[in-house]
Structure 1
Amino acid sequence: METNNQITTLKAPPQSLEAEAAVLGAMLSSREAVSISLQWLKPDHFYKTGHQKIFSAMLKLFNDNEQIDTISVSDILKKQKALESVGGAYFLTGLVESIPTTANVESYVKIVLEKSLLRQLIKVAQNLSNEAYDDHRKAEDILDRVERSIFSITQSGLRGGFQPINKILHESFEQLDSIASKGGGVIGVPSGLTDLDEVTAGFHPGDLIVIAGRPSMGKTALALNIARNAAIEHKTGIGFFSLEMANNQLAMRLLCTEAKVDSHLVRTGNLPRNQWVNLSTNVGTLAEAPIYLDDTPGISVLELRAKARRIKARKDVGLIIVDYLQLMQGPVSEN
Structure 2
Amino acid sequence: MAEDGVEQAQPNDLRAEKAVLRAMMFSTDAIADVVAILRGHDFHQPAHELIYHAILTLYAGNHTPSPFSVCEHLTETGQLEAAGGADYINALAGSKPSGKAWSNQAERIRSTARLRRLQAAATRIHDLAANGTPEFVDRIADAAEAEIFAASTEIPGSIPPAFALGDICEDTLDEIEAVGRKAGTMVLGVPTGFTDLDSLTGGLRPGSLTVIAARPAMGKSTLAVDFLRSACIKNNLPALLFTLEARRTEVVMRIMSAEARVALHHMRSGTMTDDDWTRLARRMPDVSSAPLYVQDSAHATFTEVRAQSRRLHLQRDIELIVVDDLQMLTYGTRPFATRYEEISEISRCLKLLAKELDIPVVAISQLNRGPEQRTDKKPQVNDLRDSGALEDNADLVILLHREDAYEKESPRAGEADLIVAKHRDGPTGTITVAFQGHYSRFVDMAST
TM-score range, shorter chain: 0.7 to 0.9
Residue 269 (str. 1) matches residue 269 (str. 2): no
Residue 68 (str. 1) matches residue 65 (str. 2): yes
1:14 pairs with one of 8, 11, 14:
11
The answer on whether the counterparts of 1:239 and 1:317 sit within 8 Å (CA) in structure 2 is: yes
Q: What residue identity is the alignment partner of 1:210?
A: I
Indicate the SS of the match to 2:204: coil
Which shows bigger deviation, 177-186 or 144-153?
144-153
Q: Percent identity between the aligned chains?
A: 25
1:22-171 matches, within 5 Å, as 22-48=19-45, 51-52=48-49, 54-69=51-66, 72=69, 80=80, 82-86=85-89, 88-89=90-91, 91-94=92-95, 96-97=96-97, 99=98, 101-102=99-100, 104-127=101-124, 129=126, 147=146, 151=150, 154=154, 156-160=156-160, 162-171=162-171
Q: What residue identity is the alignment partner of 1:189?
A: V
The answer on whether the counterparts of 2:188 and 2:203 sit within 8 Å (CA) in structure 1 is: yes
Q: What are the Cα deviations for residues 41-72 of structure 1, in whole angstroms up to 9, with x where unaligned?
A: 34442234664465345334324422234565
Counterpart CA distance in 2 for 1:213 and 1:92 is 60
How does the TM-score come out when normalised to structure 1? 0.72
The answer on whether the counterparts of 1:121 and 1:150 sit within 8 Å (CA) in structure 2 is: no
Question: Alpha-carbon deviation of 1:76?
Answer: 6.3
Indicate the SS of the match to 1:226: helix
Which shows bigger deviation, 159-168 or 201-210?
159-168
Question: Alpha-carbon deviation of 1:176?
Answer: 1.8
Residue 174 (str. 1) matches residue 174 (str. 2): yes
The structure whose Rg is larger is: 1
Question: Alpha-carbon deviation of 1:157?
Answer: 4.5
1:269-288 matches, within 5 Å, as 269-272=272-275, 276-288=277-289
Counterpart CA distance in 2 for 1:134 and 1:158 is 35
Q: What residue identity is the alignment partner of 1:222?
A: L
User: 1:232: which partner in 2?
Assistant: 233
**Structure 1 residues 199 and 305: CA distance shift in structure 2, 3 A:** farther
Counterpart CA distance in 2 for 1:37 and 1:15 is 17
**Structure 1 residues 106 and 166: CA distance shift in structure 2, 3 A:** farther
Q: What residue identity is the alignment partner of 1:188?
A: G
User: 1:5: which partner in 2?
Assistant: none
Question: Alpha-carbon deviation of 1:255?
Answer: 2.9
User: 2:211: which partner in 1?
Assistant: 209
**Structure 1 residues 118 and 271: CA distance shift in structure 2, 3 A:** same
User: 2:345: which partner in 1?
Assistant: none
The answer on whether the counterparts of 2:17 and 2:105 sit within 8 Å (CA) in structure 1 is: yes
Counterpart CA distance in 2 for 1:123 and 1:37 is 25
Bigger proportion of residues as strand: 2
User: 2:319: which partner in 1?
Assistant: 318
Counterpart CA distance in 2 for 1:163 and 1:119 is 32
Indicate the SS of the match to 1:13: coil
How does the TM-score come out when normalised to structure 2? 0.57
Counterpart CA distance in 1 for 2:88 and 2:37 is 25
Counterpart CA distance in 1 for 2:325 and 2:196 is 24
Question: Alpha-carbon deviation of 1:234?
Answer: 2.6
Q: What are the Cα deviations for residues 253-276 of structure 1, in whole angstroms up to 9, with x where unaligned?
A: 32343344555566522232xx74
The answer on whether the counterparts of 1:239 and 1:308 sit within 8 Å (CA) in structure 2 is: no
Counterpart CA distance in 2 for 1:175 and 1:26 is 43
Which consecutive unaligned segments of at least 5 residues does structure 2 have?
A: 1-6, 331-335, 340-385, 387-448
C-alpha RMSD over aligned residues: 4.1
**Structure 1 residues 280 and 157: CA distance shift in structure 2, 3 A:** farther
